[in-house]
A and B are shown apart, each in its own frame.
Chain A
Amino acid sequence: MNEDSKELADAGSFGLKADFHAHPAIPSKELVALMEALIRDVGTKVTEQRGMLLGHIKAFLTTEQGTLKVNLIDMDIGPETVDRLASAAVDKGEIKFMAALVGLDDHDVEEIMEDSIQVLEERLDLDIEEHEHDHDHDHDHEDHN
């Protein structure tokens, strides 16, 4: 088993997890729109960089009021949402956000996603779980400040 399927597919991936709080509580419809905007922003950046979107961008929110799943696979179709939030507003929860994309490496995907997540920060307080890199670290992180 010497083949590495990720290399064969020429794909990169990244994922992050964050707790979020909304002050005041965010209306569920606004939260859905915000998550769709996040996913769409990643898709747009990937398309600008790569010329097309080939892969899968997904986010899943778990809250006390239910769950929300948003996927993007094709820019023509746009985000596909499964809204199982049972209340009109949400004040806290957990977000899992990941993407696997063809034609980009792990570092490219990470930079795009970390840049895009700022879309949420205008409305949500995010406590992003620190992660450890296990891929080659022969690049410099861009300073976004």
Chain B
Amino acid sequence: MIICQLAGFLGSGKTTLLVRLGSELSKAGKKVAIIVNEVGEIGVDGAVIDSYGLKSVEITEGCICCSLSGSLQNTLRAITREYKPDIIMIEPTGIALPSIVSKLVRTSMVGEERMYTICLIDAFRALKLFKEANLFVSRQIAGADIVAVNKIDLVDDDVKEKVAQMIGEMSPQSKLVFISAKTGDGVAPLVKLLEEG
């Protein structure tokens, strides 16, 4: 079993990428389970995901990296035991810290063969985010296995270069990919990574 966390700041395109990856992996015959977390008491993303024929478990009214950490671990154990998925995809809130979610997954003892953290950055707003919420966003990026610069359909090459440079300084060990979750551009290698483990 592979666990993949799709993290990233509010509005970075996590749900769009999750639907695309989940649909592709399901088509490839993989049994995919999805855990989606919303900070508010009313979740929107779970309904969006379900409307594409995918099945999700929604955890609301708090963040799985802090106030709802126990709920995440219990949900992971229940899904693993009852559904026996090939892949569990976790979409934390846009204000979660992915490194803490990773630690919680590891200490859940669900027997995953591998875990990936993909952190999305909205290319269109990246420079603004790095200016206005630098400390928080850099903590989200730090330690991600892959940083996916999303929405590349909205920016030119100059912006892509600047964003790549800043991410490289924040998390030099992370692999950098450029994608558009909306158009599907650049997503195939991520599907392959999760398909093959």
Residues of A within 8 A of B (CB): 1, 3-6, 8-9, 11, 13-17, 52, 54-56, 58-60, 62, 67, 69, 71, 73-74, 77, 84, 96-102, 131, 134
A74 vs B96: C-alpha distance when bound (angstroms): 20
Number of inter-chain CB pairs below 8 Å: 105
Enumerate the 6 nearest inter-chain pairs by beta-carbon distance, A residue then B residue, closest first. A15-B42, A15-B40, A73-B11, A56-B11, A9-B95, A56-B10
Could you say which of B58-66, B165-173, B183-191 contacts chain A? B58-66
Whether A73 contacts B125 by the Cβ 8 Å rule is: yes
B174 in the interface (beta carbon within 8 A)? no
- What DSSP secondary structure best describes chain A's contact surface? strand
| Most B Cβ at <10 Å: residue of A6, A13, A56, A71 | A13
Residues of B within 8 A of A (CB): 10-11, 38-44, 47-48, 51, 60-61, 63, 65-67, 69, 93-97, 100, 104, 122, 124-125, 128-129, 132-133, 136, 139, 154
From known contacts A60-B47, A77-B124, infer whether A14 and B40 are also in contact, taking CB-CB under 8 Å. Answer: yes
Between A and B, 19 residue pairs with Cβ closer than 8 Å are A1-B66, A1-B69, A1-B104, A4-B66, A5-B97, A8-B139, A11-B10, A15-B38, A16-B42, A54-B10, A55-B10, A56-B10, A60-B47, A69-B48, A73-B125, A74-B11, A74-B125, A98-B44, A131-B42
Q: CB-CB < 8 A to B97: which residues of A? A: 3, 5, 8
A54 vs B134: C-alpha distance when bound (angstroms): 12
**20 other A-B residue contacts (CB within 8 Å) besides A1-B104, A13-B40:** A1-B100, A9-B136, A13-B39, A14-B40, A15-B41, A17-B42, A54-B129, A55-B10, A60-B51, A62-B51, A67-B48, A71-B11, A73-B11, A74-B124, A96-B43, A96-B47, A97-B44, A100-B39, A100-B40, A102-B132
